Amino acid sequence: MTQRILLITSSLFGENGQSRALAAAFKSELAGRDVALVERDVVASELPHLSGAEMGSWMTEPSARTPEQVALASHSEALLAEVEAADLIVLAVPLYNLGIPSQLKAWFDRILRAGKTFKYTENGPVGLLEGKSGLILAARGGQYAGTELDSQTPHLRHMLGLIGIKDVHAIYAEGLNMGDAQKQAAMTEAQQAIAEYVANHC
């Protein structure tokens, strides 16, 4: 059965970004495999920050929406359709100021929707998109994985977990601004880990 993969990129530097290089390595490893790949560059998509008006459009019955609300709701609905269709969601993520790019946050703001991707219960929120997997491809100028400064990885795991995606792997390329030798070693190690992940999961 064809595996459906959604690849999310979020580098401000487009094709020159290090996280984009990890995404390219991932795509290269998919060659010859039975997969259907959809790519979403959240920077190129130019998603605005979430507004009260847009959130209000979600809370309005589709038949009662104004033309403006229809347009606002369409942002989220298009992104939700991509997520719902995917078996594997891959996030190629740079680390900006110890966090995720604001454009990626804008994407999450539109897919983390009560009643759509999770629901509230008396025991807390429950994800509605179980059965999917996640892969984080993280590119960082410094070395943070496993330290208290890495707030990014837990944040991404929590957001994916909110919608029911608990099976999440992370591959890191770190120290990319700490000299050419460190950069080359980190990228080589990450590419090898990507090849191993694809061989075992795709």
Binding residues for FMN are 11
Q: Cα–chain-centroid distance for residue 128?
A: 17
- CA-to-CA distance for 110 and 120, rounded, in angstroms? 17
Q: Annotated binding site: which residue ranges?
A: 11
What type of residue is 60? T
- CA-to-CA distance for 152 and 136, rounded, in angstroms? 10
CA–CA–CA angle 103, 105, 111 (5° rounding):
110
Which has the closest alpha carbon to 55: 76, 40, 39? 76
- CA-to-CA distance for 42 and 104, rounded, in angstroms? 6
Question: Please, are residues 137 and 189 in contact by the beta-carbon 8 Å criterion?
Answer: no
